[in-house]
Structures are given as C-alpha cells and as structure tokens.
A = this chain, B = another copy of it.
C-alpha cells in the first residue's frame, strides 16, 4: 500500500477479491484465477489452498480450517477454474469436507489441479487454555529484514511479490548472493501488501509464501509441493506475522518443509508441513 492509504480490511482487500468464488450450484463454484498471484507463471500453492479453504468455509457449517491437507496434482494457471466441494461429515464441534480445483484442457475437459481434505471448527469457540512449550524462534526486527528490492533473488518482480509483504531474515537469504547457509531454513515477516490483517485464510497463503528452504541448502530450481497439511491453531492478532520454515531431512530427492507462524502476541497460530520434490544437481 502507499504510505498514505488506509490499510485494507479483512473482507475488502485484494486477497479477499482474489479468493472470491461465485456459487454456480450446490457444491460448485466458479473463479477466474488472477495472474497477480503467480510465480513463474503458476499460481502460488498457498494462494490456491486459501481458495479451496474459502470454498470449504462456505460449504461446511464451521468457519475455520483446523486441519487441511492438500495434494497438488498439476500446476494451476491464471484463468477460469471450478471448485467442487463435498460435505463428508458434520459434527457439533468439527465438520469434515473435501474440495477439488479443476481447470480445463484444450478440449475443454476438466483437469484436476488440487484435492484437499479438511476438518473445520470455530477457533473463536475454543477455550483460551494454552500450555505450550513452543517458543518463537529468534527473529530480527522487521526493519532489519530484507525485501525483494533489497536482496534481488529469483522471485523478485514476480507478480505475487507485489501483493505480499515479505521481509526475509538476512540469515536465511545468503543463497541470493551465492552463499546459502546449508541449514535448510527460511524465515520472514509476512503480511499482505495492502495492509489487510491476517486471518485463517491468509495464514494458508503464508505457509507457502517464503523462498524454499532448498535454496538455503544450496539447491536451485523449482521445488514442487507434493502435499501440504496446515493446522490453524488460533485466530491471529492484528499485525504482521512471523513465519519460520525448517527442513531436517533431504533424502532421495524429497524434503519436508515444516512451517510455523507466530502472531504479534507471540502465539503459535499455524503449523504446517509439506513434502516437496527437489532437483538434485
């Protein structure tokens, strides 16, 4: 956002407009996937998870994804898409649903891009009981972190970079200068560029918005997600969140990325893990 504009609000931001679905029939929604959320021509996986998460929030009786598992089948491109949802089970405190996103091949046939299973609940209804041993990782202040303009990397000037506020911990961006740490870490302050505060849907975007940990391990190239599961654990407080991603096991051409997201009140609001494929040199 410009320095003088008021921040966008939840429900009236570019992210909200980009995830708006048009109901066509029960359990079927249309959406025109916008080019603004792409990186190297493909829609960002976290953005797509948010689209599917929003469709399920509309379909199910509970509002928030407690746990959502996505299997990525083929790359999504800007343009028309259909989301189909199914209610699997409804309960008092949790309900479970399934959703798929389809696009179309040159003959007009549907091609499935992603399939998700998710269990939804109401985060606002949970008791405020927190007994966690998790502590936020050390993060430099936001003003000491670097954006795409400060540390040119492969993702600068990509459309999605204009829509998210990503300030990377300098300790995890050595790869942009040819000096990866080798630790398999990626950390950043995250927000939406128009100032919209975080909510469960934008956390689904945030878990897959940082540079891949593979870069910090010294690998290059595309790191396609095979599967990503996110747990939203609490409603985030206003303000930017901190996202910390680690990889412990790179083996056989696959790695896991474990993300955790901390809000401005030092609460662990989301955890995710994905299995991704790397290009071995």
Q: Which residues of A approach B to under 8 Å, CB–CB?
A: 66-67, 69, 71, 73-74, 88-89, 94, 96, 98, 112, 115-119, 123, 126-134, 183-184, 217, 226-227, 229, 231, 233-234, 247-254, 256, 267-268, 271, 273, 275, 280
What distance in Å separates the Cβ of A16 from its nearest Cβ neighbour in chain B? 26
A231 touches B256 (CB 8 A): yes
* Whole-angstrom CA separation of A277 from B128 in the bound complex: 15
Given A66-B226, A88-B71, A133:B184 Cβ within 8 A = yes
- The distance in angstroms between the C-alpha atoms of A6 and B134, with both chains bound, is 45
Residues of B within 8 A of A247 (CB): 133
Cβ-defined partner of A69 (8 Å) among B132, B217, B229, B233: B229
Q: Contacts A127-B280, A248-B134 given: A119-B253 contact, CB under 8 Å?
A: no
**What are some 18 contacts across the A-B interface (CB < 8 A)?**
A66-B254, A69-B227, A117-B117, A126-B253, A129-B250, A129-B252, A129-B253, A129-B280, A130-B251, A131-B250, A131-B251, A132-B251, A133-B183, A133-B249, A227-B229, A233-B251, A234-B251, A249-B271
Closest CB-CB distance, A112 to chain B, in whole Å?
A: 7
Residues of B contacting A250 in the complex (Cβ-Cβ under 8 angstroms):
129-132
B115 pairs with A98, CB closer than 8 A: yes
Across chains A and B, which 5 residue pairs bring their CB atoms closest together, nearest first?
A: A126-B252, A69-B69, A134-B248, A67-B227, A130-B251
Query: Which B residues are CB-close (under 8 A) to A184?
Result: 133
Judge whether A88 and B112 touch: CB under 8 Å. yes
**Do A229 and B71 touch (CB < 8 A)?**
no
What's the nearest-Cβ distance from chain B to residue A73, in Å?
5
Known A133-B183, A233-B251; judge A117-B268 contact (CB<8 A): no
B133 and A94 form a contact (CB under 8 A): no
Is B249 a contact partner of A134 (Cβ separation < 8 A)? yes
Candidates B88, B98, B127, B233; contact of A249 at CB < 8 Å: B233
In the bound complex, what is the Cα–Cα distance between A273 and B123 (angstroms)?
20
Asked if A96 contacts B67 (CB within 8 A), the reply is no
User: How many angstroms from the CA of A226 to the CA of B133 in the assembled complex?
Assistant: 21
B280 touches A252 (CB 8 A): no
Known contacts A132-B250, A183-B133, A250-B131; is-contact A117 B71 (Cβ 8 Å) = yes
Chain B residues with CB under 8 Å of A233's CB are 249, 251-252, 254
CB distance from A144 to the nearest CB of B (A): 25
Q: For residue A280, which residues in chain B have a CB less than 8 angstroms away from its CB?
A: 127, 129
Q: Which of B98, B271, B275 contacts A67 (CB 8 A)?
A: B275
